[in-house]
Structure 1
Amino acid sequence: MAALKGRVALVTGGSRGIGRAIAISLAEAGAAVAVNYLSKSAEAQAVVEAIHGQGGRAVSVGADVSQAAAVKGMVAGVERELGPVDILINNAGIAINRPVDELTEDDFDRTMAVNLKSVFLCTQAVLPGMRKRRWGRIVNISSGAARGAGGVGPHYNTSKAGMEGMTRGYAARLVKDGITVNAVAPSLIQTDMVGAVASSASRIPLGRFGKPEECSLIVMMLIENEYMTGQTVALSGGLSFL
């Protein structure tokens, strides 16, 4: 419980699924947690209440993380409520699922903004404080679609591949400041997003969908390991290998 005591974490898209599991794991390790959401305010507040029920500190914070002004306001609000952000989990994402020949420019732009631009905006917003304190952990939630065909579409693949490139780019430039930047690439985790594109786990060698809590275990490992940076950890039940 005390491993992250005194640390403040921000989880984007933290109201449900993988984000929810990560937020709760961070709180269990002693961190104060800001649970970001876009429209699921009740779900985000439920995560906060679950953390409070365990004796932890948490707040919910609504913001569109694809917008620079919203991100700036979000980070300022978290700092007022909990303190400077030490741990950033870039988990917010969307999956616009439609036939490839029906994809529009707006579909592409929105996917890039939410899945990729948000990582840049949130990272830039917390970076000065992390550098000043010479300690920081950034974990980006990617997808097996960054390297495989995926079940959503090329716009989604591209956004996640870009996220992993951004992970390496930041990692190389921040390691001397005590900041690590890594990614987790889950495939077919039991969430609302996966439920919309995959009805069966039959093609997964393990024989089942992954659990959000299994993703949070990897995230916690990356936060605790200061020697590991610029890496992407795959989590697929044997479906694919990096």
Structure 2
Amino acid sequence: MSNDFQPLKGKVALVTGGSRGIGAGITRKLASWGATLAVNYVDRSKPAKEIKAELEAQGTKVSLHQADLADPAAIEGLMGEIEAEHGELHILVQNAGATKFNTLENATLDQWQFVQDTNSRSTWLLAKHAIPLMRDRQGARFITITNSTTTRIIPKAGLFAAAKAGMEVLTEYLSYELAQYGIVSNCVRPGLVQTAVFNVRPDFNHGVKHELSVSPWDGEKMTTAENSADVVAMLCLDEASWIAGQTITVDGGYRLWGGISSRRTPAQAV
């Protein structure tokens, strides 16, 4: 896409967890389409400063905001910083999330609460406190990022799945409640993407081999952060304003035909 294509120029976008992994991909994509970026991170300032320097060198205005979204006071403080720095907010991408990998049998109450707070509760509170900054803004979007734990079993990810399922349902209800303020809400569900979580779950590397989408037009390919970022950006376009309350899976079709052993080339297809 040409750099002249900047449909988000003049819009302010907040990406939570926006300095690493899928969040960094979303940050870069929205910046390339002309948005001003507010990047939230939890505690690793180095990658946040690096992406800020990278994008500013390309002419994008970027602000950094440290906030642990498991803390309700931190969410209010984050919104206060956005208002002070930018005065308004057009796009909020709730990408931040965290989990504790454990079986449901052995999980503790503290682990359950931590995972709920950093995923579902933070989504509710971000939307609640963003309304004054986003209401009646042209092209306002509230977009959440879930994952594939809600659609298939991943060992020791039950806590994550429950929290992300809550996020998906919250997005549906928010799409209804935020509509009165002109805010369109949707959810994006990436396939398995190789991010820093692989350092904690090295067994995911085995799963990657089965996460390839078997495509008649593109062979075998794994989901990337950029794939998800493209869909988030698309949902921010004026042309996508009639898409609301949806959870859009971005996995190259893996959820539908992943694991099918027979593979045909386009020439073999009938």
Shared fold, TM over 0.5:
yes
The Cα of 1:195 is off from its aligned counterpart by 5.2
Q: Does 1:153 align with 2:168?
A: no
Distance 2:137 2:117 in 1: 29
Q: Does 1:199 align with 2:214?
A: no
1:144: which partner in 2? 148
2:131: which partner in 1? 127
The structure having more radius of gyration, on CA atoms, is 2
The Cα of 1:87 is off from its aligned counterpart by 0.5
1:15: which partner in 2? 19
Matching residue's letter, 2:251 = S
2:241: which partner in 1? 226
- Tell me the SS of whatever aligns to 1:101: coil
Distance 2:212 2:93 in 1: 28
2:45: which partner in 1? 41
- Tell me the SS of whatever aligns to 2:68: coil
The Cα of 1:148 is off from its aligned counterpart by 1.9
C-alpha contact (below 8 Å) 1:32/1:58 kept by paired residues: yes
- Tell me the SS of whatever aligns to 1:145: helix
Aligned residue pair count: 242
- Tell me the SS of whatever aligns to 1:133: coil
The Cα of 1:132 is off from its aligned counterpart by 4.1
The Cα of 1:163 is off from its aligned counterpart by 0.5
C-alpha contact (below 8 Å) 1:38/1:62 kept by paired residues: yes
- Tell me the SS of whatever aligns to 1:6: coil
Distance 1:205 1:238 in 2: 9
TM-score w.r.t. structure 2 length? 0.84
- Cα 1:54–1:152 shift into 2, 3 Å: farther
Ranges in structure 1 where 5+ consecutive residues have no aligned partner: none
The Cα of 1:99 is off from its aligned counterpart by 3.6
- Counterpart of 2:57 (choices 50, 53, 57) is 53
Moved over 6 A (4+): none
The Cα of 1:152 is off from its aligned counterpart by 4.0
C-alpha contact (below 8 Å) 1:35/1:47 kept by paired residues: no
- Tell me the SS of whatever aligns to 2:38: strand
- Tell me the SS of whatever aligns to 1:183: strand
Distance 1:157 1:188 in 2: 14
C-alpha contact (below 8 Å) 2:191/2:211 kept by paired residues: no
C-alpha contact (below 8 Å) 1:9/1:85 kept by paired residues: yes
C-alpha contact (below 8 Å) 2:186/2:247 kept by paired residues: yes
The Cα of 1:217 is off from its aligned counterpart by 0.4
- Tell me the SS of whatever aligns to 1:4: coil
Q: For residues 42-68 of structure 1, give each alpha carbon's deviation from its aligned partner in whole angstroms, at most 9, with x where no partner exists.
A: 111111111101100001110111222
Distance 1:164 1:143 in 2: 10
C-alpha contact (below 8 Å) 1:3/1:29 kept by paired residues: yes
C-alpha contact (below 8 Å) 2:212/2:222 kept by paired residues: no
Moved more, 160-169 or 149-158: 149-158
Ranges in structure 2 where 5+ consecutive residues have no aligned partner: 214-219, 257-270
2:250: which partner in 1? 235
Distance 1:15 1:151 in 2: 27
Distance 1:152 1:181 in 2: 30
TM-score w.r.t. structure 1 length? 0.93
